[in-house]
Amino acid sequence: MIIVLRPGTGEADIEDVCRRIESLGLRAHVSRGEQRTIIGAIGDDRFKTRVQALEALECVESLVPILQPFKLASREVHPMATVVRVDGVEIGGPRLAVMAGPCSVESREQLRTVADSVKMAGAHILRGGAFKPRSSPYAFQGLEEEGLQLLAEVRKATGLPVVTEVLEPDKVGMVAEYADVLQIGARNTQNFSLLKEAGQSGKPVLLKRGMATTIKEYLLSAEYILAAGNPNVILCERGIRTFETATRFTLDLNAVPVIKKLSHLPVVVDPSHGTGHWEYVAPMAKAGIACGADGLIIEVHPKPEEALSDGPQSLKPAKFAQLMRELRPVAEAVGRSL
Amino acid sequence: MIIVLRPGTGEADIEDVCRRIESLGLRAHVSRGEQRTIIGAIGDDRFKTRVQALEALECVESLVPILQPFKLASREVHPMATVVRVDGVEIGGPRLAVMAGPCSVESREQLRTVADSVKMAGAHILRGGAFKPRSSPYAFQGLEEEGLQLLAEVRKATGLPVVTEVLEPDKVGMVAEYADVLQIGARNTQNFSLLKEAGQSGKPVLLKRGMATTIKEYLLSAEYILAAGNPNVILCERGIRTFETATRFTLDLNAVPVIKKLSHLPVVVDPSHGTGHWEYVAPMAKAGIACGADGLIIEVHPKPEEALSDGPQSLKPAKFAQLMRELRPVAEAVGRSL
Amino acid sequence: MIIVLRPGTGEADIEDVCRRIESLGLRAHVSRGEQRTIIGAIGDDRFKTRVQALEALECVESLVPILQPFKLASREVHPMATVVRVDGVEIGGPRLAVMAGPCSVESREQLRTVADSVKMAGAHILRGGAFKPRSSPYAFQGLEEEGLQLLAEVRKATGLPVVTEVLEPDKVGMVAEYADVLQIGARNTQNFSLLKEAGQSGKPVLLKRGMATTIKEYLLSAEYILAAGNPNVILCERGIRTFETATRFTLDLNAVPVIKKLSHLPVVVDPSHGTGHWEYVAPMAKAGIACGADGLIIEVHPKPEEALSDGPQSLKPAKFAQLMRELRPVAEAVGRSL
Amino acid sequence: MIIVLRPGTGEADIEDVCRRIESLGLRAHVSRGEQRTIIGAIGDDRFKTRVQALEALECVESLVPILQPFKLASREVHPMATVVRVDGVEIGGPRLAVMAGPCSVESREQLRTVADSVKMAGAHILRGGAFKPRSSPYAFQGLEEEGLQLLAEVRKATGLPVVTEVLEPDKVGMVAEYADVLQIGARNTQNFSLLKEAGQSGKPVLLKRGMATTIKEYLLSAEYILAAGNPNVILCERGIRTFETATRFTLDLNAVPVIKKLSHLPVVVDPSHGTGHWEYVAPMAKAGIACGADGLIIEVHPKPEEALSDGPQSLKPAKFAQLMRELRPVAEAVGRSL
């Protein structure tokens, strides 16, 4: 951390800032420039977050962080790429992982139809929501535990491992009984109680990026799970909020190479939420693979026009199968397989 | 809801869309223009959210909502302004309500010092966090139940009612035992489980706007609480995420008159989080009052440079007292009192 | 400027960076921390912009600027507030300046009607566009020179000085012949050719903030005008682009105290563009004054529903007169007059 | 256009709105729902922009546009994809077009070195700026006409056509004498005078998307050029402004399939500005091709650490050559060639 002092700061204030830095267990290094005096707070300030309060001193103009604030999630500390293993499927290895299925689990028949078709098309993991975070209280809120049971049943029938969302800390145990991967959605990226609980669950976690979460904050959210002892975190770019309204969100694919540089964790892309329209899912799925993602998560529904949630962004099974065929050469073009 | 069809849509598809609209309990009204055929889905689609899936039909170009999607929160349905009463303090009436206190409850002494000083300066409600949502797992996470006990103790000593944040659905009961107002923070605006639980608590709820929550989504989150039977919701604009980095967030004061037009709920402004810097708190507090807010929530700390959280945006007690004196004429200039 | 080196950077690279810094006329100061070596480039890097290219070196992790990049616009260099004088009207002094008038000059009668009414209500400067930047090529593009002539005519009749927009560098001369203040609009905040030309015109310039311009970039745009020898720059916050769609733009009132801290230039607020709806203009005008703006610019039209541009955000004359009456006590509450 | 009336609007007002719609040359179609009466304004309102002013009527709640506001740029009107031909290079055909070169033309030697290397690597068009829009007045502003002469010289020597930026309407003639393609940069996307002039130049135009320009506004800017009689417009996604600061801009690749759906114009991607860091250029170039772009524009510099502008995002020639090799299989995977 660098502390930039206001012009004209006197020696007494400089000494006071140094003393405060040292009392926090860091070393102070003063550098007097022509325009500004700056003080370096030397040491690992990731664990000395109180240093940030120094910005409140009247003699301080600004604080400038030098280190990334996360440690366990960082590639600097952990240079080898992490591969998360889910029941035989690897996420983060040379082979891409594709998760597909309906937004919501609606019925046994719907789920089974989708599961069979995405398996046939080559998907590796079945997605499907039993607890649904919906903007409106009047919208379908999910089948809840019944949905989890259907997921478990269809997993048994198809052999596909299952990823499903958990919304509350005290439901982590229940969801973990049924699911192979716990999904934490974009509205819960900074639900720290949920992150801590998921960290203790022993299950792999698919952590989606929040719609207004910076990459730095996002990796700090992953750090919560890692710090609770769970190394199996899969990141997921799913679109951020911007001024553009032609798409539901703006898929920030820049995040893929940025995360790959900063972190060792695998990252998948969600072109369904990242665009909000089925017509844009295929091109953005290809783009996600081309820029280095380790996999995809895609919504598929047999009758999108009757879906209880997210119909407009769901692919029909035939379109999903076609996309899988088209993805293969793209994967190979960037040295991956599907 | 209006369904806009793609150019060239044939009669069979038009009839199919109409049939689907009617099967959802709405009436269909077709209008053939020169460039587009559009179909109105007539009726209260706020409770027919499945109509949105029609966008997935290949013959549909777009859906256009006509009604605001919330009902209980809307001024159209409930024209009279809501006044929330908290232990003798009115929020939403002619007199402004000021909530002030430390970001985090850190110790008995710290809390008592702040509480005495903000009471002396004329604040009406004491704020203070016992459960703290922090970006970093290595940052101070709050005193938890001990913090709640200190709040209750200081309330007793000073007579100031207390607002404090709750982070998890299954902590609502515990927090409600100690607090007069439950705060739901910006990272939980769309934590629907928490909203439902708060809706059943019987306590007034201060619901902050999320940093990427549109006003429409924000009022839908309020609707969750109202629909659970709790009419005492206080809204709070606290800054949104934008590209500007000179301030921590961009305080969206436009939201105050917009919310006043769309909803009957009271709204307060948080200039501390909305700017992130103590130097900007006073001007933005005045601006909030000038554009029609019903109150303010402000962070005050005796030694901001030693605060365990949010030091840079905290006012010292003397500066807070000065701000209260300066706010009075602004309140009167817009026909309110303080 | 601080240059942060990647971990593991060797001595040869450190020396190379220092040599490059010194060859640009700055001094290098190396500081070796536990986690990172950083090099301070000491001196006034505002005029040594080439230092930024060092980020391209493979051994460099990031560059961190310490100084604000503008100089003539900065309050640090020029602590006294600038007062711009326009034909007897002061902008930046204790008295607030209100500019009002139609979005577009449409006809002699329209302009005269508005001018008479806003003068009667107490406005100090007449606004009106003769050259109109319109998103659509099919929309009204302004009366051009005829519009300028009407403005000059009405100025003569009413005594109100005139502010009007100029869109092209080679029209600056023509517009300067007719207008008292040259307006540079939000789509031209970074039209550097236009800024340079306006800087040489000798006329005061009302420079609007762009809808995606950071405050730092905005003050650099002002620096272009100041550096060309024109000290009479009036800044104007008029709303930025965000994800919120309930208003046309998000009026960033935080910018007012931020600019007041960083710069000596006067700043006015445009609540018409900043909201896009006449119903929100009055509250946001009051908020602008309450947080310290030096004035307002407001659109007024006798028949907004027939306006050739920006009708929805225009006030009728009677509403504008009422707003002026309501503004007076707000101005006084913050120690200003109107 | 649909006009939504406020609840409780009486017959007189409804008739008044209808009369106003008809006086603008459109037909009015009233539809009375349970909650709202809406009025359709039937006809081609793209040329009747005055209808928007009706939003100012007190009985009007909102206006809802149904048609996209552009016509010449729209795929609906012009279903066949446009191929722009530049001296033998096709942009928008099956073969991708790659434009590469330095941000700024700095010297004959620098330009020639880059041109030779990008030609050798397979680039089709040489880019290089002679007039540079720079945030700071103290930064290098380009070699101006001397830079244009160097571009012409190097074009002659290498056979590569040249794209270069024009900043002012009255420089269009001069730049068009030297360049094969006129570039209009992101700060001038809504510089309508420049668009009109470029529309009359007879030269192909590379029109970049502004950093806060919606896709709808962007296509309206293209419409300005098309309406002036110039059909040769190449669109370019180069990153938008968002809250994320890990990259200089957020490359909005969603825009590629959206533009392909809405418009017939070719679109290229600029991964250099879209990320701001050379390390992210290669993955995002591949992603751009994978989602359907017709080409790329990439900054290449022999010594990025000494570049007079945009060094941090420039590739060295060897890295650019490697990228070209890696792009070929990606292009083929999506049915294109390079």
| pLDDT tens column, C125-170 | 999 999 999 999 999 999 999 999 999 999 999 999 999 999 999 9
**Banded model confidence at residue A46, pLDDT cuts 50, 70, 90:** confident
Mean pLDDT of chain D: 96
Q: Answer yes or no: is pLDDT of D200 > 90.
A: yes
Query: Which among B57, B190, B308 has CB closest to A50?
Result: B308
Q: CB distance from C22 to chain A under 8 Å?
A: no
Q: CB distance from D211 to chain A under 8 Å?
A: no
Contact between chains at A244 and D257 (C-beta distance less than 8 A): no
Smallest Cα distance from A83 to chain C, Å: 25
Contact between chains at A67 and C243 (C-beta distance less than 8 A): no
Whose tokens are 């500005």? That residue is D273
Query: Which among C36, C44, C242 has CB closest to A243?
Result: C242
Q: Which two tokens stand for residue A140?
A: 């379908």
Mean pLDDT of chain C: 96
What chain D residue is nearest to C137 in terms of C-alpha separation? D224
3-state secondary structure (DSSP) of residue A152 = helix
Q: Answer yes or no: is pLDDT of C47 > 90.
A: no
Residue A308 CA neighbour count, 13 Å, CB half:
20
CB-CB neighbors (< 8 A) of B40 in chain D: 31, 33, 38
Q: CB distance from A250 to chain D under 8 Å?
A: yes
Q: Answer yes or no: is pLDDT of C301 > 90.
A: yes
What chain B residue is nearest to C256 in terms of C-alpha separation? B283
The rounded distance, in Å, linking the Cα atoms of C207 and B292 is 29
Contact between chains at C44 and A66 (C-beta distance less than 8 A): no
Work out whether strand C2-5 and strand C60-64 pair parallel, antiparallel, or are unpaired.
Answer: antiparallel
Q: CB distance from B40 to chain D under 8 Å?
A: yes
Inter-chain contacts counted by CB atoms under 8 A, chains A and B: 138
pLDDT digit string (tens) for D211-267?
Answer: 999 999 999 999 999 999 999 999 999 999 999 999 999 999 999 999 999 999 999
Name the DSSP letter for residue B316: P
What chain C residue is nearest to D306 in terms of C-alpha separation? C53
CB-CB neighbors (< 8 A) of B191 in chain A: 167, 187-188, 191
Please state the rounded mean pLDDT for residues A145-160: 98
Specify the amino acid at residue A47.
F
Q: Which two tokens stand for residue C244?
A: 């919120």
Q: What angle do CA A173, A177, A180 make, to 5 degrees?
A: 110
Mean pLDDT of chain A: 96
Q: Answer yes or no: is pLDDT of D43 > 90.
A: no
Query: By C-alpha distance, which of B171, B194, B207, B172 is closest to B84?
Result: B207
Which chains are within 8 Å of C by 3+ CB pairs?
A, B, D
Instruction: Give residue B35's pLDDT.
Output: 87
pLDDT digit string (tens) for C209-242?
Answer: 999 999 999 999 999 999 999 999 999 999 999 9
Query: Which percentage of chain D shows pLDDT scores above 90?
Result: 94
Beta-carbon contacts of residue D317 (< 8 Å; ≥ 6 apart): D113, D114, D117, D118, D121, D300, D302
Q: Which two tokens stand for residue A131?
A: 């607890």
Contact between chains at A66 and C33 (C-beta distance less than 8 A): yes
Helices (H), A207-316: 215-227, 255-262, 271-275, 278-290
Query: Which percentage of chain C shows pLDDT scores above 70?
Result: 100
- For residue B38, the cross-strand partners are B4, B31
Smallest Cα distance from C192 to chain A, Å: 25
The rounded distance, in Å, linking the Cα atoms of B289 and B334 is 8
Please state the rounded mean pLDDT for residues C305-331: 96
Contact between chains at D66 and B66 (C-beta distance less than 8 A): no
3-state secondary structure (DSSP) of residue D6 = coil
Instruction: Give residue C15's pLDDT.
Output: 97
pLDDT digit string (tens) for A92-118?
Answer: 999 999 999 999 999 999 999 999 999
Contact between chains at B290 and C290 (C-beta distance less than 8 A): yes
Instruction: Give residue A115's pLDDT.
Output: 98
Q: What is the DSSP track for D182-249?
A: EEE-GGGTT-HHHHHHHHTS-S-EEEEPPTT--HHHHHHHHHHHHHTT---EEEEE--B--S--SSSS
pLDDT along chain B (338 residues), means of 10: 94 96 93 90 84 93 92 95 97 98 97 98 98 95 97 98 97 97 98 97 97 98 98 98 98 98 98 97 98 98 94 96 98 98
3-state secondary structure (DSSP) of residue D72 = coil
Cα B95 to Cα B123, B182, B266, B272, B331: the distances in Å are: 12, 21, 12, 21, 9
Which chains are within 8 Å of B by 3+ CB pairs?
A, C, D
Q: Answer yes or no: is pLDDT of D148 > 90.
A: yes
Specify the amino acid at residue C78.
H
Query: By C-alpha distance, which of A144, A91, A130 is closest to A297?
Result: A91
Q: Answer yes or no: is pLDDT of C30 > 90.
A: yes
Whose tokens are 């591949």? That residue is D286
Q: Answer yes or no: is pLDDT of C49 > 90.
A: no
Smallest Cα distance from C170 to chain D, Å: 8
**Banded model confidence at residue C44, pLDDT cuts 50, 70, 90:** confident
What chain D residue is nearest to C167 in terms of C-alpha separation? D193
Give the residue from C138, C168, C200, C278 with the most D CB atoms within 10 Å of its CB, the best one to mutate: C138
Name the DSSP letter for residue B191: -
**Is the distance from CB of A269 to CB of A236 less than 8 angstroms?**
yes
Work out whether strand D37-42 and strand D2-5 pair parallel, antiparallel, or are unpaired.
Answer: antiparallel
Smallest Cα distance from A299 to chain B, Å: 13
The rounded distance, in Å, linking the Cα atoms of C104 and A309 is 46
Q: Which two tokens stand for residue A126?
A: 């079945």
Query: Which among C243, C254, C326 has CB closest to B284?
Result: C254
The rounded distance, in Å, linking the Cα atoms of C240 and C104 is 22
**Banded model confidence at residue A54, pLDDT cuts 50, 70, 90:** very high
The rounded distance, in Å, linking the Cα atoms of C92 and D11 is 50
- The helix-helix angle for D317-333 and A317-333 (nearest 10°) equals 150
The rounded distance, in Å, linking the Cα atoms of D88 and D95 is 12
Residues 116..135 of D with a Cβ closer than 8 Å to B: which? Answer: none
The rounded distance, in Å, linking the Cα atoms of A320 and A324 is 6
Smallest Cα distance from A116 to chain B, Å: 22
Whose tokens are 């990731």? That residue is A46
The rounded distance, in Å, linking the Cα atoms of D196 and D232 is 13
Instruction: State the burial class of residue D64 (Cβ atoms within 10 Å of its Cβ: 0-12, 13-18, 19+).
Output: middle
Residues 80..119 of C with a Cβ closer than 8 Å to D: which? Answer: none
Q: Answer yes or no: is pLDDT of A178 > 90.
A: yes
Specify the amino acid at residue A251.
L
pLDDT digit string (tens) for B20-70?
Answer: 999 999 999 999 888 899 999 988 888 788 899 999 999 999 999 999 999
The rounded distance, in Å, linking the Cα atoms of A39 and A104 is 53
- In sequence order, what E strands does chain D have? 2-5, 27-32, 37-42, 60-64, 84-86, 89-91, 97-101, 125-127, 162-165, 181-184, 205-208, 233-237, 267-269, 295-299
**Is the distance from CB of C84 to CB of C91 less than 8 angstroms?**
yes
**Is the distance from CB of B27 to CB of B21 less than 8 angstroms?**
yes
CB-CB neighbors (< 8 A) of D209 in chain A: none
- In sequence order, what E strands does A102-157 have? 125-127
3-state secondary structure (DSSP) of residue A129 = strand
Residues 49..78 of D with a Cβ closer than 8 Å to C: which? Answer: 49-50, 52-57, 69-70
Q: CB distance from D210 to chain B under 8 Å?
A: no
pLDDT digit string (tens) for C259-291?
Answer: 999 999 999 999 999 999 999 999 999 999 999
pLDDT digit string (tens) for C187-204?
Answer: 999 999 999 999 999 999
Helices (H), B166-311: 172-178, 192-199, 215-227, 255-262, 271-275, 278-290
Query: By C-alpha distance, which of B226, B244, A187, B219 is closest to B236?
Result: B219
Query: By C-alpha distance, which of A84, A77, A76 is closest to A266?
Result: A84
**Banded model confidence at residue C33, pLDDT cuts 50, 70, 90:** confident
Which helix (H) or strand (E) segment holds residue A89: the answer is strand A89-91
Q: Which two tokens stand for residue D120?
A: 């050798």
Q: Answer yes or no: is pLDDT of C50 > 90.
A: no
The rounded distance, in Å, linking the Cα atoms of C98 and C278 is 17
Cα D278 to Cα C103, C220, D255, D273, D282: the distances in Å are: 44, 26, 22, 10, 8
Give the residue from D48, D72, D165, D191 with the most C CB atoms within 10 Å of its CB, the best one to mutate: D191
**Is the distance from CB of D295 to CB of D99 less than 8 angstroms?**
yes
Query: By C-alpha distance, which of A44, D262, B166, A218 is closest to C35?
Result: A44
Q: CB distance from C34 to chain B under 8 Å?
A: no
Contact between chains at C4 and A43 (C-beta distance less than 8 A): no
pLDDT digit string (tens) for A281-310?
Answer: 999 999 999 999 999 999 999 999 999 999
Contact between chains at C311 and D138 (C-beta distance less than 8 A): no
Work out whether strand B295-299 and strand B233-237 pair parallel, antiparallel, or are unpaired.
Answer: unpaired
CB-CB neighbors (< 8 A) of D34 in chain B: 42-44
Smallest Cα distance from B310 to chain A, Å: 7
Q: CB distance from D279 to chain A under 8 Å?
A: yes
